[in-house]
Amino acid sequence: MNIKAQIPNPITLLNLFCGCIALVFAFHSDFEKAFAFVSLGIFFDFFDGFFARLFKVSSPLGLQLDSLADMVTSGVVPGIVMYQMMINGSGWSSPYIPFFGFIVTIGSCYRLANFNVDIRQTDSFIGLPTPANALFILSLPLVKKYSTTFIINEALTDHGILLFITLLSAYILNAEIPLFSLKIKKFNFVDNKIQIVFLGISVLMLIALKLLAVPLVIVCYVLLSVVNNKIKKNGSV
């Protein structure tokens, strides 16, 4: 048995395990612990692919396991969080409004299925990756909790705004927008310049704003990708 070939799959399953734990906390509206375990799951999600590429043991099984684990950690959990936020929100009186939070889960499912069959997404992404979207959604109740800005707190309890964020999330997940990958395939600076710049900006924002920086980091990722695409396009003309 090739031991190296077996290393990535248990790491992927740890991602799933973290997602299951986060799911329990999300059901009980313990958003801080849910965020922590989703973040840990995404950490494992990064390193399963890292070791698969390092040991050159990528496999169809690993690809499917990765998507199935992501569906829980980065698909179901953010849907539950948005559902809970809408339950505790205000604006519309219908008891069915919170169920629209699961549009995030539906968008994530389609995104993951499409990723598995889209050959364009080997070196970069088309649409926002589900882990990034999950961090964005799970950061919202924490922003609401720790922000002292009245407008932000009011916005994140309004059903209309929460529904808009939900629909925007599902759209960005599946939009035809090329986004750079954070996965390192070649271990040198030249091939990872954009990733290093993004990580540097992210670290500075997190140091300055802590949890409040998380949604801004995701927005920065999208904007930096758009700028990078334009630079590449102009450079190829």
DSSP output for 152-184? HHHHTTBHHHHHHHHHHHHHHHHSS-EEE----
CA separation for the pair 160, 174 (Å, rounded): 22
- Phi, psi dihedrals of residue 177, rounded to the nearest 5°: -115, 115
Q: Hey, which residues does 158 pair with through a beta bridge?
A: 90
Closest CA to 108 of 82, 131, 83, 138: 131
Confidence tier at 123 by pLDDT (50, 70, 90): low
Which pTM was predicted? Answer: 0.89
DSSP state of 95: T
CA separation for the pair 224, 187 (Å, rounded): 21
Do 79 and 104 meet the contact criterion of CB atoms below 8 Å apart? yes
pLDDT score recorded for residue 183: 67
User: What average pLDDT score do residues 109-136 get?
Assistant: 88
pLDDT score recorded for residue 193: 82
Average pLDDT over the chain, rounded to an integer? 89
In the chain the domains, ranked by start, together with CATH numbers, are: 3-184 (1.20.120.1760)
pLDDT score recorded for residue 140: 96
pLDDT in tens, 167-201: 999 999 999 999 988 766 566 666 678 888 899 99
- Specify the length of the chain in residues: 237
pLDDT over 70, % of the chain: 91
User: What average pLDDT score do residues 86-96 get?
Assistant: 91
pLDDT score recorded for residue 149: 87
Count helices and strands in the chain by DSSP H and E runs: 11, 2
Residue burial 146-179, b: 16+ Cβ < 10 Å; e: rest: eeeeeeeeebbbebeebbebbeebbebbeeeebb
pLDDT in tens, 20-40: 999 999 999 999 999 999 999
Confidence tier at 134 by pLDDT (50, 70, 90): very high
SS3 14: helix
